[in-house]
């Protein structure tokens, strides 16, 4: 676990609940945790280092979501 000092030294790290669903079959070859509608992970990626596809093989949007799952609306 990270300490408060570590979080203070890394301002991009959030303590917010990521609002993820349970580990489930959301398509693809491995289980994933779906990002819920009001998750702070939505569009939280920096846009320049986003993989082209999420863990399921779904395409990423221009500003990707944080994590292995891209929420597609």
Q: Does residue 55 contact residue 30 with C-beta atoms inside 8 Å?
A: yes
Q: What pLDDT digit, counting tens, does each position of 25-50 carry?
A: 999 999 999 999 999 999 988 778 88
Average pLDDT over residues 2-25: 76
Its pTM stands at 0.75
d(CA 4, CA 8): 6
Tokens of 48: 């320049």
């Amino acid at each position: 676990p990270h300490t408060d000092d570590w979080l203070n030294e890394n301002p991009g790290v959030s303590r917010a609940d990521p609002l993820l669903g349970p580990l489930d079959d959301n398509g693809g070859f491995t289980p994933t945790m779906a990002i819920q509608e009001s998750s702070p992970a939505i569009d939280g990626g920096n846009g320049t280092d986003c993989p082209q596809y999420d863990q399921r093989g779904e395409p990423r949007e221009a500003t990707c979501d944080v994590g292995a799952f891209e929420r597609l609306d």
